Amino acid sequence: MIQYVVDGLVNGSIIALGAVGLSITYNVLRFANFAQGEILAIGAYISMAFIVLMGVGIGSIGPVSFGWPLIASIILSVLVTSVVVLAIDWLLFRILRQRSASRITFIIAAFGLSLIVRNVITLIAGADQMFLSFYIPKAIPVLDNFKVVPDDVLILIITAICVVSLHTFLSITTVGKKMRAVAENPVLAMVNGINVKSVVRWSWIIGASLSAIAGTLHAHVTQLDPEMGFELILPMFAALIVGGVTNVYGAVLGGFLIGLTEAFAVAIDLSAYRGGIAFLIMIVVLILRPQGILGEKERDD
Amino acid sequence: MTNSDISSDNVILKVTNLVAGYQRVLPIVIDVSVEVVQGEILTLLGPNGAGKSTLIKGICGLVEVISGEVLFRGENISDLETHEIIARRVAYVPQTHNVFSKLTVAHNLDLGAISNFDAYQDRLSKVFDLFPDLKKFRDTSAGKLSGGQRQMLALGRALMANPILLLIDEPSAGLSPKLRDQVFQQVVQIRDSGVTVIIVEQNAYAALSVSDRGMILANGRLRLIANAVELLEDPKIAEIYFGARSTAEKS
Amino acid sequence: MIDILSFVIFFFIICSFYIISSLGLNIQYGFTGMFNVGIAGFFAVGAYTSAILTGPEYADTIFGGFQLPIILGWLCAIAVSGLAGVLVGLVTLRLREDFLAISTFGIAICIQLVALNWESVTRGPNGLYAIPKPFSRFLDSAVMSNLFYLIICIMTIVAIYYALERVVKSPWGRVLRSIREDEVAAEALGKNVFMYRLQAFVLGCGIMGLAGAMYANFVRFISPQDFLPIFTIQVYVMLIVGGKGNNLGAIVGAIVIWALWSASDSLINFIVAPDYQTQAAALRIIIVGVVLVLMLLFRPSGILPEKKHLSS
């Protein structure tokens, strides 16, 4: 049973980090980004590309199969993914913003974008599965009958570091404060002298960075394939809505809840319906508490 | 136009043939020219949909300037983005949604100063002197304030940017007559501290009684600009532009 | 000659399923502004309903073998898809458009999961086969039976088109458009916005279900692989290219995009070596995505923009 909980937390970490990106786009740019899963996939494939280029595998540090080559790839992937995402924004969403396109137009564009990215990945890397490494998780006993895989623990630590950094960023830095202001009221933010365009860029960078990390971690514990982002989008949306769309920490909480529920579904032999279970929880929350667990009631604007 | 008596040295804002609106084909402000003098309170009056709010939004870049020119202290700001205009020490107080209701009073005031933190403490104490309530509720979230306190926070937040020119959109909307008069007295104090103020108002008499000049817009065009006293005392103007509502207000 | 004829007939029959779906989407998205990302799901519900009701008995299913007349299968498909629309709509239509999009997206995925895993009814990945096709018993020539099928398709499209034209010009249709333009104002006029949205949503879902049923009884074999999200995107591209809010646009868009899709398919098969078929297929989908994005950016109102109605 404990193994399911650990699996759930690891999977939940990835969903949580991805959902934070979704939450930032939702609150700052004000649309549901159906291409968020593909940003994770881009991050994972870019890490894969650096691993292949370096040609020394992912390395290892002590008991963790998570060596310097992998860490370097993640850092490079964070940078490259941010640039790619900024380019996408410049080519697509920037123009829609200039035309004051409706929210639905943004969503359809994101939906189309997700399709394009998935197939560009197929075009470049092929449709077959790829692996960052041929690492086989080795569990280490910690208590009498409790073993953990060191990499799982590391993933939880990385997630914790990301969440704490995000919190620090949002509450201490000027950019973070500006971002919260734009999220609450873009016009008022503007008349406070905040450059909304710069905040939008920062939002993409933060979302893309967390997604690149999440995508690479996901690739590390499972594999890469062009559909990987598409398979994560529903759990991420569920996390966002369950936690509360207006609260970025809600996305984290929601991510872990969805991760744990999915692991539970696997435990009771419902793994075939795994994707549907995240969705059902989301629907229940939408009916009973539309603002989500940590969310506040919608403003009327 | 009674602009002739204004010496051009004192003109802080010069709007020339301004056309502004949300759609190029359907401008809301049409061919408006006005000169605003350092240290005055200028009130914009006119019926609903006359383009009053759009005019001040055009000045601070929230609405597209389709043609014409806005000179602020000699610099053309009509093509700048809002944050660039604000950085030149123009402040704007929207009519609604004018505070960050999820954030505390102190955090709201911080955001007002976000583009320039120089002499932050001085500004903060000035704002607290003018609005003692804000000091009392500094750690309360703005959403929990009363309507009057919220308006004070909106003004205080704008003052934190240390403006030279302050644009206020209907500060008295939704306030009781008593609070309304209080807000206008505070606007006078703000002006006395050296800030030039442009107010958009529906309550013509209350606003004109604290203003230096008033200007009347109708259908997007400038109809009349005159000293506040003249406007207040001219019954014909009251009849034409302020309608029956203001007669009731007067009594 | 007969080859070309049979190709043309086949082309237009498949195109018809897209046209009907596009008309169904038009009532939801074009006229009422509801963003349904679950088209593939409602299409699948219709397809499975008709397949199960009109299909033969399979050894490994517990439910089926009714062998009802095809027309009954189609009517039931409309009803079941419409019912699915009621359930989905009741939960999601009060929500903001983003949530509606996310929910319908999830529902399409769930429907696919059910089709894939509920083997005792859908035969899972193996799919349902030997679904009856109308007239095939009387006409031994495939070309002739396809020709008859095409006639049925055209008649159905014409009927739906005229019905929808009447509907959108009726007071009911005007309310839908006013909801799309300004929901709050429509509410202020005393309209029960939710009920109008629900009715439009259910109508659209029923039409998509009919398209699915007609697909099932034509191709005679369906499996979960037929109902992927690419279908949803294709229908959106068709409606947006054709002109949302214009029923003729919905039809024209479907024909144009289906022609491009088929042409690129033939072209790729002709040019690209068999080893690169995966890449070629990906390239084709990229083109569809790019067309969609370019339309949104540069011609959001489509080839045949919505006619301006006096009321709006």
Rounded to whole angstroms, the Cα distance separating C308 from C310 reads 6
- The complex's ipTM works out to 0.87
Count of domains forming chain A: 1
Tell whether C294 is within 8 A of chain A (Cβ): no
From B205, B192, B251, B201, select the one nearest B231 (Cα to Cα): B205
pLDDT band at A113 (very low <50, low <70, confident <90, very high): very high
Nearest CA-CA distance, residue B91 and chain A, Å: 7
Residues spanned by the domain of A154: 2-288
Would residue A39 count as lying in a domain?
yes
Tell me which DSSP letter residue C63 carries.
Answer: S
pTM of the model: 0.89
Q: Which of A248-262, B152-166, C86-100 has the lowest mean pLDDT?
A: C86-100
Nearest CA-CA distance, residue A241 and chain C, Å: 9
**Which one of B54, B64, B111, B115 would you mutate to disrupt binding with A, by most A Cβ within 10 Å of its Cβ?**
B111
Specify the pLDDT at position A298: 54
Query: Which residues lie closer than 8 Å to C76 by C-beta, 6 or more apart?
Result: C49, C50, C53, C68
Q: Which residue has the higher pLDDT, B49 or A50?
A: A50
Mean pLDDT, all residues of chain B: 86
Q: Convert the pLDDT of each residue in B87-120 to its tens digit.
A: 999 999 999 899 998 889 999 999 998 877 778 8
Chain C hits for A233, Cβ within 8 Å:
105
Specify the pLDDT at position C279: 84
pLDDT higher than 60, residue B1: no
Q: Which residue has the higher pLDDT, C54 or B204?
A: C54
Nearest CA-CA distance, residue C304 and chain A, Å: 18
CATH of the domain at A244: 1.10.3470
Tell whether C196 is within 8 A of chain A (Cβ): no
Are C91 and A287 a contacting pair at CB < 8 A? Answer: yes
pLDDT higher than 60, residue A151: yes
Specify the pLDDT at position C68: 85
Q: Which subunits count as partners of chain A given 3+ CB pairs below 8 Å?
A: B, C
Specify the pLDDT at position A110: 95
Q: In this structure, what are the phi and psi dihedrals at residue B203, rounded to the nearest 5 degrees?
A: -80, 80
pLDDT higher than 70, residue C211: yes
Q: Convert the pLDDT of each residue in B12-27 to its tens digit.
A: 999 999 999 888 888 8
Are A184 and B102 a contacting pair at CB < 8 A? Answer: yes
Q: Convert the pLDDT of each residue in C116-126 to its tens digit.
A: 988 888 888 88
Specify the pLDDT at position C312: 39
pLDDT higher than 50, residue A6: yes
Query: Which residues lie closer than 8 Å to B47 by C-beta, 6 or more apart?
Result: B218, B241, B243
- Mode of pairing for the β-strands spanning B196-200 and B41-45: parallel
Tokens standing for residue C54: 């009109």
Strand boundaries in B27-134, DSSP class E: 29-37, 41-45, 64-72, 75-76, 90-93
pLDDT higher than 70, residue C288: yes
pLDDT band at A72 (very low <50, low <70, confident <90, very high): very high
Q: Convert the pLDDT of each residue in A79-93 to its tens digit.
A: 999 999 999 999 999
Mean pLDDT, all residues of chain C: 88
Are B111 and A181 a contacting pair at CB < 8 A? Answer: yes
**Which one of C103, C278, C296 would you mutate to disrupt binding with A, by most A Cβ within 10 Å of its Cβ?**
C296
Q: Which subunits count as partners of chain C given 3+ CB pairs below 8 Å?
A: A
Indicate contact of A with C: 3+ CB pairs under 8 A.
yes
Chain B hits for A194, Cβ within 8 Å:
83, 111, 114-115
Would residue A214 count as lying in a domain?
yes
Q: Find the closest chain A residue to C119 by CA distance.
A: A272
pLDDT higher than 80, residue B244: no
Mean pLDDT, all residues of chain A: 90
Q: How far is CA A44 from CA A226, B103, C148, in A?
A: 10, 37, 51
Tell whether C102 is within 8 A of chain A (Cβ): yes
Query: Could you give the percent of chain C with pLDDT greater than 70?
Result: 97
Q: Convert the pLDDT of each residue in C135-161 to its tens digit.
A: 776 666 778 888 899 999 999 999 999
Specify the pLDDT at position B3: 45
Specify the pLDDT at position A15: 96
pLDDT band at A260 (very low <50, low <70, confident <90, very high): very high
Specify the pLDDT at position A294: 87
Are C278 and A92 a contacting pair at CB < 8 A? Answer: no
Q: How far is CA B123 from CA B117, B136, B161, C98, in A?
A: 9, 17, 8, 42
pLDDT higher than 80, residue B172: yes
Would residue A189 count as lying in a domain?
yes
Would residue A295 count as lying in a domain?
no
Rounded to whole angstroms, the Cα distance separating B91 from B221 reads 24
